[in-house]
Structure formats: structure tokens, C-alpha cells
Structure 1
Amino acid sequence: MSKTRFENLEVYLLAEELSQIVWNLVIKWDSFSKNTIGNQLVRSCDSVGANIAEGSGAGTSAEFSRYLKIARASLFETKPCL
């Protein structure tokens, strides 16, 4: 499998943009909100880009595909928190 430079993937760039937006919103919340739903929201958002990056270093296309599915699941985890 040829190594994909995840930094150039549009999906990775969008994931990073979403993560930055969420961080900028959550940081303004009160302590209770930050420590409950905010924490979960930030972690699930950050996980999207992290899994794309990790998967790009996978040894096979099948492994990369698995990481992309995990990234997608993290995105779905994010939706209910918004």
C-alpha cells in the first residue's frame, strides 16, 4: 500500500477544522458543561482526525479502511453532542 499523506486529505482537513471549531466553543462553556458533554465532544472530534492520521500509516489498504471506519464512527459519536 502506498502511504497516504494524511495532511493532504480533504477529509482530514475538514476533521481538523471541525475539531478547532468545537474546541473554540467548548472553552467558553461553564465548568460543569465543559467537564461533562464538552469533554466527550472534544474527545470524539479529536478522534476523527487522529484515526485518519493513524490509519494513513497502516501497512495495508484494509487496515487503512478500518481506521477510516473508526474515524467515521467517532464522527457519528460527535453528532448527538452538538
Structure 2
Amino acid sequence: MARPDYESLEVYKLAERLANTIWQIVQQWDGFTKDTMGKQIVRAADSICVNIAEGRGRHNFKDNQRFIKIAKGSLYETISWLRLAYTRNLLNTEQSAKLKPIIDELIPRLNAI
């Protein structure tokens, strides 16, 4: 069976890298923080790449566009959670510096689809 074509998309790879980086960061948080903010931010970040994949699998332009819009909404939700995490001293400068270039590249790529 051939690999799904979405795996070769740069936008998908960026979204997956963002989700996996956030996962690694959240794993270090305490139980309360994981339960309150952690689950939410991981779900939002995961939603970006899974919606790109689902839209691509629909093989229909309108459906794909709808799922890309959902992915964009999840990206902005993720950014909002990251801002809260940084303000609450849950993200350090190094972690933020690792996430920022991924997000800065992901936003225009999602908008271009």
C-alpha cells in the first residue's frame, strides 16, 4: 500500500513537528498543569496536522478547504495556548525560540493552501 500523499506535504510536516514539540514540552509539566492546560494545547496542536490529513483524504476541493480552515483555527488556538503558557512561566525562552520558527513558517503555508 502506498503512503498517504499528505505525509510529503511541507505544511503537514511542519504541523506534525509543532505537535510533537509541544507534546515533549507538556510531558515535563506537573499533573495539574497537564490536566488543565496540557490536554488542551496538545489537542489543539494535534488537530492542525490531523485536519490537513483528513482534508487531503477527502479528494474533494471544497472538503479539503473546509478542513484547512479547521486546521487554521486549531493553529490560532494553539498559539493562544502558547501565549498563556509563556505568560504563566510554563514555557522558557529556549522552548519558545524552538516553537516560533515552526509557527512563523506554518501560518503562511496554511494560508497558501
The equivalent of 1:61 in structure 2 is 61
The equivalent of 1:6 in structure 2 is 6
CA distance in structure 2 between the aligned counterparts of 1:47 and 1:61, rounded to whole angstroms? 20
> What amino acid is the match of 2:46?
D
CA distance in structure 1 between the aligned counterparts of 2:59 and 2:11, rounded to whole angstroms? 20
How much is the aligned-residue C-alpha RMSD, in angstroms? 1.1
> What amino acid is the match of 1:18?
L
Q: What is the TM-score of this pair, normalised by structure 2?
A: 0.67
The equivalent of 1:17 in structure 2 is 17
> What amino acid is the match of 1:44?
A
The equivalent of 2:86 in structure 1 is none
The equivalent of 1:80 in structure 2 is 80
Deviation at 1:5, TM superposition (A): 1.2
CA distance in structure 2 between the aligned counterparts of 1:51 and 1:28, rounded to whole angstroms? 26
Q: Which one scores higher on RCO, CA 8 angstroms, separation ≥ 6?
A: 1
Identical residues among aligned pairs (%): 47
Equivalenced residue count is 79
Unaligned runs of at least 5 residues, structure 1: none
